[in-house]
Amino acid sequence: MDFKIDPRILTSHVTQSTVDKKTKDLESLRESAREFETLMVMEMLKAMRKSVPEGGLFEKDVATETFTEMLDMEKAKATTHGKGLGIAELMYNQMAELIEKKK
């Protein structure tokens, strides 16, 4: 029995592991940038809603506040879906260079 290890297997395995880690890091960065953009849009909607004077058809209670917060979150998700405002893409491009330069 002759057990020989092909050196190409070991070298490619280490290289593949590094590539997989960078790919995972880039995917994680893209998701984080998109989440940041969503939160920023949500805060923007919340600030805009505060600028509107109170009053109107419905009284303000806990259920109404909860509904408007959920509505703002869904609007923010819809706004940032796809290309969104472009903030997430700019953040990703700027920070992806740092991940690419890593060993």
pLDDT tops 50 at residue 14: no
Taking the complete model, does pTM exceed 0.85, yes or no? no
Give per-residue pLDDT as tens, 20-29: 888 899 999 9
Q: Give the DSSP letter string of 13-74.
A: HHHHHHHHHHHHHHHHHHHHHHHHHHHHHHHHHHHHHHHSPS-SSS---HHHHHHHHHHHHH
Give per-residue pLDDT as tens, 17-57: 767 888 899 999 999 999 999 999 999 999 998 898 887 77
